[in-house]
């Protein structure tokens, strides 16, 4: 089920909210039961078979965490149980996500024609597997207490607001909230407004940029130009931001409506003045997961320079691979690994001397090029697009199609660039503090426009559902 | 012959004692059961999704040979986009046949996607097509409306089969056998 669907907004969510709030706050177990049941229904709506896999993963990790805890209580290290849990978790993820990629590469490398069936990826598997692994690591390291109630752990893993596309919530960040949550009208109001903002980002902006991107990619080579290629890349840059940050807003908002507080996943990444800063602002929950459970255990930056470079490349290669079973994602990850190394060891002082606008431009060019790898089906297609963007080949600088696309989308592009900065939301908050009615009108308008758009549009899933 | 005789004749032979099972730690048993359940589930999912790698040209040949589907005309990529808003180049192969009669809703579509995940968008387009066709025929074409309401959609592996016809099952049967 999609957050941005009539079924979810006008049927599923109101029913779940009504049942949830009909139960008095002191009966937290009953409220948790409602949320768990709703989460299972939400997931099984599109994945009637794979809901079993999620239940399995919840029970498996719950049980293995108990084993680690018991072993440590008896004086052991818990290492064997930790290894067993991580191997099984990664095996499940790999079986669905990387099996086809592996077989394709074996066939390509050895000139074989082994037939294989590419399995459909269970939605959200990358997110909930990483959540489960963070819990296992934390129990092993003793940074969180073990959860003795399997249903409560299942609720943590399957909680529908963040189940499908994050943020990747660490168990220790919500452990207390599973037992005790404070219900406030302010919290509910904040959650509802955040949800509406996220809905607007997805339905009104991301889908519009998606349509522009699609119209550029559908152009035959004869109608491509340097500026058109940049226009397509810019459209995707804005689409993926509004799509994914819109989903995160909806997830955080829904969490607040049910009295959960999730950490922020985006902090206006497109205002960054270096790529290092960009990665502190983009998909924060994934970056912090890799930093905490891969980068730091590898030694982080407290090692020799060559080892540090290797650590960075491992982490960024894995970050790329997490996004998808394709060389495009691996190259995309390594591309960032190399740029972050360059920024850390070579460019930092030089960048600091540049004016703010130049640093911002540099960051956005790097990020926009990076999204080309992300948006294309194959590496060949990505290289070709990048080639066109830099004038490689007999492509004109601009042509009639470029001017048509610019003329018909200029306002949208200006609006997108403006809304991806922090200024509009700050201005909105200031204005609504003085005039609450202004906020209600704005949110009502966004909800109305989004609903109208949903009624007339076709299936439009979030980009991050693929991961 | 008692147990001691057996051990004396075959010193390497130790008769299985059910009591030994009780010495296996409960934790190990639970882990083994968990692994077994996982293996069974993954095998079932794989078997359910498994489909032979068959060219749609071969499927079409079989359909033509074994059914009367030749009465439906093969449609072009442009017509596929016109009627279902699907871009043929987004998929590995597409077979789209449609009745030439204006008053008929009969059509047959088979899509072989590049990945199983791409089929969600195809299914959505097909469901939209059915809805739109029902709104066209409802009111003056009860037979066609009934056929549309009984349309068959079947997914396996990277393939999606969709058919509106008097007996869509006969086409589906050939398709299933081809996989």
Q: Give B-chain residues touching A218 at CB under 8 angstroms.
A: 87
ipTM score above 0.85: no
Residue-by-residue DSSP string for A140-168: HHTSSPPP--HHHHHHHHH-HHHHTT---
d(CA A220, CA A451): 34
Pair of tokens at residue B137: 């025929």
Cite the beta strand spans of A261-391 per DSSP E. none
Alpha helix positions (H), A159-290:
160-163, 171-179, 185-200, 207-217, 226-257, 275-281, 284-290
Residue B159 scores a pLDDT above 50: yes
Specify the 3-state DSSP secondary structure of A284. helix
* B97/chain A closest Cα distance in angstroms: 23
Average pLDDT over residues B112-120: 79
A121, B117: Cβ pair inside 8 Å? Answer: yes
Q: What is the pLDDT along chain A (467 residues), one digit of tens a residue?
A: 778 788 888 899 999 999 999 999 889 999 999 999 999 999 888 668 889 999 999 999 999 999 999 999 888 888 999 999 999 999 999 998 888 888 888 888 888 777 777 777 888 899 999 999 999 999 999 999 999 999 999 999 999 888 877 788 889 888 889 888 888 888 999 999 999 999 999 999 998 999 899 888 888 777 788 999 999 999 999 999 999 999 999 999 999 999 899 989 999 999 999 999 999 999 999 999 999 999 999 998 888 999 999 999 999 999 999 998 889 999 999 999 999 999 998 888 888 889 999 999 999 999 999 999 988 878 888 998 899 898 887 788 888 889 999 999 999 999 999 999 988 888 888 888 888 888 889 999 999 999 888 887 654 655 655 55
Least confident of A182-191, B15-24, B34-43: B15-24
Q: Give B-chain residues touching A120 at CB under 8 angstroms.
A: 49, 116-117, 119
From the list A182, A178, A173, A181, the residue with the least C-alpha distance to A147 is: A178
* B120/chain A closest Cα distance in angstroms: 9
pLDDT at B89: 84
A459, B124: Cβ pair inside 8 Å? Answer: yes
Residue B16 scores a pLDDT above 70: no
Nearest CB among A70, A88, A117 relative to B46 is that of A117
From the list A124, A152, A121, the residue with the least C-alpha distance to A54 is: A124
Residue A98 touches chain B, beta carbons under 8 Å:
no
B45, A121: Cβ pair inside 8 Å? Answer: no
Q: Using CB atoms and an 8 Å cut-off, which of residues 71-110 of chain B contact chain A?
A: 85, 87
Average pLDDT over residues B82-91: 87
d(CA A234, CA A117): 35
Least confident of A178-187, B64-73, B114-123: B114-123
For tokens 């960048």, the residue is A351
pLDDT at A357: 93
Average pLDDT, chain B: 84
Do the beta carbons of residue A96 and residue A57 sit within 8 Å? no
CA distances from residue A116 to A88, A91, A102, A104 in whole angstroms, order as listed: 22, 17, 10, 9
pLDDT at A348: 81
From the list A270, A279, A269, the residue with the least C-alpha distance to A344 is: A279
More confident residue, B124 or B49: B124
Could you tell me the residue ranges of all domains in chain A?
Answer: 17-158, 187-466
| Whether residue A69 lies in the annotated active site | no
pLDDT at A458: 57
pLDDT at B8: 54
d(CA A187, CA A316): 36
pLDDT at B1: 45
Nearest CB among B42, B87, B117 relative to A95 is that of B42
Is the dihedral angle over the CA atoms A242, A247, A248, A254 positive or is it negative? positive
Is the dihedral angle over the CA atoms A447, A453, A456, A458 positive or is it negative? negative
Pair of tokens at residue A54: 């999620």
More confident residue, B21 or A413: A413
pLDDT at A448: 92
């Amino acid at each position: 089920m999609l957050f941005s669907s009539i079924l979810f907004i006008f049927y599923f969510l109101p029913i779940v909210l009504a049942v949830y709030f009909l139960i008095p706050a002191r009966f937290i177990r009953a409220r948790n039961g409602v949320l768990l049941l709703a989460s299972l229904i939400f997931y099984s709506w599109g994945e009637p078979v794979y809901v079993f896999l999620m239940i399995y993963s919840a029970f498996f990790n719950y049980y293995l965490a108990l084993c680690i805890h018991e072993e440590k209580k008896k004086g052991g290290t818990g290492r064997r149980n930790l290894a067993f849990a991580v191997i099984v978790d990664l095996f499940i993820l790999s079986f669905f996500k990387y099996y086809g990629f592996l077989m394709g590469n074996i066939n390509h490398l050895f000139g074989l024609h082994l037939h294989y069936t590419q399995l459909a990826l269970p939605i959200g598997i990358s997110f909930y597997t990483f959540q489960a692994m963070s819990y296992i690591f934390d129990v092993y390291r003793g940074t969180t207490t073990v959860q003795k109630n399997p249903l409560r752990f299942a609720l943590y893993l399957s909680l529908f607001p963040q189940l499908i596309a994050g943020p990747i919530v660490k168990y220790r960040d919500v452990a207390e909230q599973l037992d005790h949550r404070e219900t406030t009208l302010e919290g509910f109001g904040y959650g509802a407004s955040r949800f509406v903002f996220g809905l607007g980002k997805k339905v009104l902006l991301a889908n519009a940029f998606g349509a522009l991107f699609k119209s550029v990619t559908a152009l035959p080579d004869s109608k491509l130009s340097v500026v058109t290629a940049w226009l397509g890349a810019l459209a995707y840059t804005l689409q993926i931001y509004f799509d994914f940050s819109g989903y995160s807003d909806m997830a955080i908002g829904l969490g607040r409506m049910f009295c959960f507080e999730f950490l922020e996943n985006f902090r206006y990444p497109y205002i960054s003045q270096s790529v290092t800063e960009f990665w502190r602002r983009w998909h924060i929950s994934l970056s912090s997961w890799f930093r905490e459970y891969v980068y730091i255990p590898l030694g982080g930056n407290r090692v020799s320079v060559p080892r540090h470079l290797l650590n960075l490349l491992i982490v960024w290669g894995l970050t790329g691979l997490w996004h998808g079973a394709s060389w495009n994602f691996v190259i995309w990850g390594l591309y960032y690994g190399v740029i972050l190394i360059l920024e850390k060891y070579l460019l930092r002082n030089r960048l600091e001397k540049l004016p703010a606008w130049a640093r911002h431009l540099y960051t956005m060019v790097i990020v926009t090029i990076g999204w080309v790898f992300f948006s294309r089906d194959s590496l060949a297609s990505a290289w070709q697009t990048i080639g066109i963007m830099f004038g490689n080949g007999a492509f004109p600088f601009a042509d009639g199609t470029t001017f048509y696309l610019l003329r018909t989308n200029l306002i949208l592009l200006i609006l997108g660039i403006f809304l991806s900065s922090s200024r509009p939301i700050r201005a909105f908050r200031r204005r609504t503090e003085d005039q609450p009615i202004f906020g209600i009108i704005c949110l009502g308008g966004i909800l109305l426009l989004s609903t109208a758009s949903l009624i007339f549009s076709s299936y439009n899933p979030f980009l991050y559902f693929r991961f | 012959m008692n147990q001691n005789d057996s051990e004396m004749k075959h010193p390497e032979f130790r008769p299985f004692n059910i009591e030994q099972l009780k010495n296996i730690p409960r934790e190990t048993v639970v882990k083994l059961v968990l692994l077994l359940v996982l293996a069974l589930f993954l095998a079932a999912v794989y078997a359910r999704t498994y489909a032979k790698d068959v060219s749609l040209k071969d499927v079409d040949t079989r359909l033509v040979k074994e059914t009367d589907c030749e009465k439906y005309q093969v449609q072009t990529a442009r017509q596929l986009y016109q009627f279902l808003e699907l871009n043929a180049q987004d998929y590995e192969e597409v077979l789209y046949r449609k009745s030439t009669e204006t008053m008929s809703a009969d059509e047959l579509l088979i899509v072989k996607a590049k990945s199983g995940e791409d089929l969600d968008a195809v299914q959505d387009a097909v469901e939209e097509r059915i809805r739109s066709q029902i709104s066209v025929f409802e009111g003056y074409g009860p037979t066609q409306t009934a056929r549309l309401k009984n349309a068959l959609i079947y997914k396996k592996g990277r393939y999606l089969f969709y058919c509106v016809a008097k007996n869509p099952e006969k086409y589906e049967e050939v398709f299933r056998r081809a996989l």
